[in-house]
Structure 1
Amino acid sequence: MDNPRHVFLNASEVMARNGWGKTKDCQNLKDRELVSPPVMTNPDRWPLDQLLAWEEKRVALAEAALEALTAPDREPPPVTDLLPQPKRRRRSA
């Protein structure tokens, strides 16, 4: 396999790699908090090594969130917190 530092993906390859559909692809590719900017423009190209680092960061964050939710010492929230809150509060009589 080629060195990831020397492999560049175009927009359609980035979208296919992440399973993005055509509806969200442009929004996701322009969101700099989600994906780093392309290093080459016209046509846009993203370096594979940066995408791999970004994917590893996303996986680590997802694993940490899952661990926090399933921690054995964590007390489950009360059922009333899981129910939708009433839209109006009744006035006291």
Structure 2
Amino acid sequence: MHWPPDASDDTDPRHVFLDAHDVMARYGWGKTKGYQNLKDRSLVPPPVMTHPDRWRLDQLLAWEEKRMELAEAAMEALVVPDREEATISKLLPQPKQRRQAG
């Protein structure tokens, strides 16, 4: 399969299978990092076919959506509720207190 698929393709993503090279190209991973990521089942869903490995596009799309929702939830949790009081200086670590000479 050529990557990226044409925007005009009406192909059902359940019928599109990507090999390791296609998945790495989709996410902009280099060869070394890409193969490391593809082996990490906590990071990337397992392939639907093995020997050779093939990932279904619809499953990758669902995985991407889930990761985006988790990232958005994490960002929401980091937002300070009272923006009026939140200044960048309050969010940064406070400097060490200095001893007074005396």
Scaled to the shorter chain, the TM-score interval is 0.7 to 0.9
In our comparison, the structure showing a higher alpha carbon Rg is 2
**What is the aligned residue count?**
81
TM-score (ref. length: structure 1): 0.75
Higher relative contact order, chain-length normalized (CA < 8 Å, sep 6+): 1
* C-alpha distance in structure 1 between counterparts of 2:91 and 2:80, whole Å: 13
CA 1:78–1:16: 2 relative to 1, 3 Å: closer
Structure 2 runs not aligned, ≥5 long: 1-9, 96-102
- For structure 1, the residue ranges without an aligned partner over 5 or more in a row are 84-93
RMSD: 2.0
Q: TM-score, normalised by structure 2?
A: 0.69
CA drift at 1:58: 0.7
Please name the residue that 1:6 is paired with.
15
> After the TM superposition, which residues 53-64 of structure 1 pair with which residues of structure 2 at under 5 Å, given as runs?
53-64=62-73
Cα distance, 1:42–1:8 mapped onto 2, change above 3 Å: same
